[in-house]
Chain A
């Protein structure tokens, strides 16, 4: 599938040094639309949609955000902690708005799975079904994320 001009622009902005140090694509050799299509297909197989995942991630980030120094115990089985750093990041697709440099670490204590995401990850999943390329600093495997969020 030929990439659109929007995807090409987004791909450029996802390169190392444009928005973040290592960029969003990691060592992935697939085109942006292929990465998204593969993850969307995986998500469908798992019976979830990106918005559902993003809303749950947002919930954990928001809940742990209010406890600004400690890990928050949520729903009796999740440990979540959000660290906020100075500054904000834009969406590589050029969406309006800025996303805080906030990193949430979530551990599902029932199955022992831990995942890490940023505020920008939540937006990228919700609006673009983009989980980042393989090997990028904040790539999240959809399968792992689903297990952490819903099992």
Chain B
């Protein structure tokens, strides 16, 4: 949910007008055995503090002896920074894995202004793992960085 420019113009009272968008690119990889990556997107206050998971893409429907949650620890940075204490599925956070392409994820509307580090981590079955971290300022920050293997461009406009 993004506030309309009009609302931004007159200023928000209840929640700071910090809603922005993260754009995550999952590259198309030419490999023998391709599985869509598990991806976690989270924000950490630059000064330290609890991480806030913004999006988590995994095999939410996989059941049986080895449900999709079994492999969440493979997103090892995210797992350590807070994933392990979350209950899955998490409302408004977890979703199915995504095919290669570009995806827009809204930042939480109640994000307080300040310095953050935006992290995007991808881990792929029979593939690699990559973490892209970008320092960002909320609001009004824009930042962009590219992964080299499992992630393409990660862009943020915090507006």
- A and B interact physically: no
